[in-house]
Amino acid sequence: MTARDAAAQTAFGPMVLAAIEQNEPPLQRLVHDDLAESFLPGRLRLLVRLTRVAAFRRAAATVTDRSGPGLWASIACRKRYIDERLSDPLNDTDAVVVLGAGLDTRACRIARHGDLPVFEVDRPVNVDRKAAVLHRVFGAVPASVHLVPVDLEEDPLIPALESHGYRPEQRTFFIWEGVTQYLSPEAVHATLAQLAGAAPGSKLIFTYIRQDFIDGTNLYGADAVYRRFRKRSQVWRSGVVPEQVGELLAGHGWRLVEQAGPSYFRDTYIRPTGREVSASPVEWTVLAER
């Protein structure tokens, strides 16, 4: 299996986590996603059902955090953060574009409440898998959901979106979650360059892995994650220096609004649940606007 094929398989992990979170009592959930379990293959749905027992849920989170301290909470909280920013009533959006959508349920959750067009971009193998999931769960791809096969390492993004009905003049909410580390640095910059023509009022949320972790100079206690994603498979390829995010965005016509990391997630999402978990300093989430 190539590194890129291995990257395609990583779509399952975050959705398993989101599905398991739904087995927490409502006030103790870090993220809310009632479709997550249904999007998983049968063997993983069975695993999720086992975690209806609290001891099994704790075991699943413990195993994850043993290899990467705080990664469970970070993944759940970044999803919560994106959902809240997207659903902000002050957010004027004409279209949503999800880059590297994987098994994400957000487009279908949006489709239940309106006809806002959502364009899900991913490699062809992942688009085919997602189409099969949507047919299994809903009987068809929802009318407002557009599956766009694009390899961000090789293919022009905007022409592919336009061929599926996207209009660049639309105020767009771009979501690039859990993806940048799997791309080459050249592809990360090329994607940002293609988004430079987004309409005024557009927003962009993306996540990144710290460059010092990618370089191996600071592992933040996540040695097992480093061995898995950087040494054995080398599937994580790109990182960002937090202090350089504003400059990176400005170079492509975007303004940094905020960065959300472990302290933000702790204060905003974790403490109200009363759960004794922490978020990882390895991954950060960025909100920018045009």
Q: Give the full edge-to-edge strand order of the sheet including 203-209.
A: 145-149, 118-122, 95-99, 172-176, 203-209, 283-289, 255-260
- Percentage of the chain exceeding pLDDT 90: 90
pLDDT number for residue 199: 97
Phi, psi values for residue 148, rounded to 5°? -120, 110
Place of tokens 């479709």: 35
Are 69 and 223 a contacting pair, CB within 8 Å?
no
Q: Which domain holds residue 248?
A: 3-289
pLDDT number for residue 67: 85
pLDDT number for residue 5: 54
Place of tokens 């991954």: 283
**53-68: per-residue pLDDT in tens?**
999 999 998 888 888 9
Residue 25 has pLDDT above 50, yes or no: yes
- State how many domains the chain has: 1
Average pLDDT, the chain: 95
Rounded to 5, what percent of the chain is helix, strand, coil?
Answer: 50, 15, 35
pLDDT number for residue 244: 97
Are 236 and 181 a contacting pair, CB within 8 Å?
yes
pLDDT number for residue 272: 97
- Amino acid identity, residue 253? G
Are 175 and 106 a contacting pair, CB within 8 Å?
yes
Phi, psi values for residue 246, rounded to 5°? -60, -40
Are 257 and 289 a contacting pair, CB within 8 Å?
yes
- Amino acid identity, residue 11? A
CA distance 49 to 45: 6
pLDDT number for residue 72: 95
- Percentage of the chain exceeding pLDDT 70: 97
Query: Could you tell me the pTM of the whole model?
Result: 0.95
Lowest mean pLDDT among 8-22, 200-214, 241-255: 8-22
Are 59 and 72 a contacting pair, CB within 8 Å?
no
Which residues does 233 contact at the CB level (< 8 Å), separation at least 6? 3, 6
**97-109: per-residue pLDDT in tens?**
999 999 999 999 9
pLDDT number for residue 8: 57
pLDDT number for residue 65: 87
Structure tokens at 36: 């997550």
Q: For residue 274, what is the domain's CATH number?
A: 3.40.50.150
CA distance 72 to 217: 23
Residue 84 has pLDDT above 70, yes or no: yes
Residue 9 has pLDDT above 50, yes or no: yes
Are 249 and 214 a contacting pair, CB within 8 Å?
no
Of 183, 53, 40, nearest to 121 by C-alpha is 183
Residue 159 has pLDDT above 70, yes or no: yes
